[in-house]
Amino acid sequence: MRTGIANRKTKETEISVALCLDGGSVDVSTGIGFFDHMLEAFAVHGGFGLSVKANGDLQVDGHHTVEDTGIVLGQALADALADKGNIRRYGDFRLPMDEALASACVDVSGRPYLVFNADFPQEKVGEYDTCLTEEFFRALAFHAGITLHLRIEYGSNSHHMIEALFKAAAHALSEAVAPQKGLLSTKGVL
């Protein structure tokens, strides 16, 4: 089983993540209901086992909790993929959710990068600030060492648009980490 564990404790947050790329149970608790829903959708649609326990300074807002969860999840993903050989490396997925359409492309390359192309018409979904979506994915990509391109092609409901992004990213990542014989690189190393 390809598993990764990571923890982070600061004056603002305390977060622990366990990730299994080959499946398992899902248990998420961040104190932000919509964000919990997105992480659960990410795990289910990726076919991942995921445990997230986060305590943050939610009396300020959700920024530190969401960004730091992205950092720790990225670290757990990097840990689970310590040997990047024998994976497909690339993943690409488009996902519709009602009126919204999202696309995600992933390269598990060791070169962190994020391209994020999404504008949300509503500023909040529940207690979740929609602008935190980009912060989460940036932290995830940079700490996992992956290149991630995310795009909302169209949509009018921020809930649907964000959920489509999380699910598309999960499917693309699942495809990219799927087992394959050999190392997919002309350089001989990722």
Minimal CA–CA distance to 6: which of 81, 61, 57?
81
Q: Which two tokens stand for residue 34?
A: 């919509």
Cβ neighbour number for residue 115 with a 10 Å cutoff: 12
pLDDT for residue 69: 98
pLDDT for residue 188: 58
DSSP-derived letter for residue 153 is: E
Query: For the structural domain made of 3-176, what CATH number should be given?
Result: 3.30.230.40
Regions of the chain where pLDDT drops below 70:
182-190
pLDDT for residue 187: 57
pTM above 0.75, yes or no: yes
pLDDT for residue 24: 98
